Amino acid sequence: MKSLTVGDLEDCLLNKVDLRRQQISQAVEEVQKVVHHLTTNISSQDIRFQVVPYSDTYNENIKVLAPTQFLVTVPVKGLAGYREAREQRWRYYTLQGTRLPCPLRDPEGLQQWLEVEQFMKSLWQWHETDVNIDGDIVPAKVLLVFRKLVENAIRTCHLSGKVSMLGNRSAVWVAVETSAYPVELELVPAVEIPTAWSEKARWPRCLQRWPSQERVECIKSFGFNLLASSSYHWQLSFFRAEQVLLEQLDDDGGCRRKCLQVMRQLKEDVWCPGIRPVITSHHLQTVLFWTCEKYPHFKDWQVFSKAFLRLVRKLHKCASQHFLKHYFVRNSNLFQCTNPIELDAVAQKVSTFLKNPQISPP
What pLDDT, in 10s, does the model give residues 230-267?
899 999 999 999 999 999 899 889 999 999 999 999 99
In sequence order, the β-bridge partners of residue 132 are: 137
- Looking at residue 279, what is its pLDDT? 97
- Looking at residue 114, what is its pLDDT? 95
Can you name the CATH fold of 249-355? Poly(a)-polymerase, middle domain (1.10.1410)
Residues 180-227 pLDDT 10s:
899 999 999 999 999 899 999 999 988 888 999 999 999 999 999 999
The sign one gets for the Cα dihedral 170, 322, 327, 87 is positive
- Looking at residue 63, what is its pLDDT? 96
Enter the pTM of the model.
0.92
Instruction: List b or e across 219-239, with b for residues whose CB sees 16 or more CB atoms inside 10 angstroms.
Output: bbebbbbbbbbbebbbbbbbb
- Parse the chain into domains and list their residue ranges: 24-237, 249-355
- Looking at residue 103, what is its pLDDT? 84
At 11, phi and psi to the nearest 5? -65, -45
Round the average pLDDT of the chain to a whole number and report it. 91
Report the alpha-carbon distance of residue 71 to residue 229 in Å, rounded. Answer: 11
Please give the torsion angle defined by the CA atoms of residues 252, 297, 66 and 359, in that order, rounded to the nearest 10 degrees: 100
- Looking at residue 93, what is its pLDDT? 92
- Looking at residue 11, what is its pLDDT? 60
Which of the following CATH numbers is that of domain 24-237: 3.30.70.1280, 3.30.460.90, 3.90.226.10, 1.10.510.10?
3.30.460.90
State which residues of the chain have pLDDT below 70: 1-14, 358-362
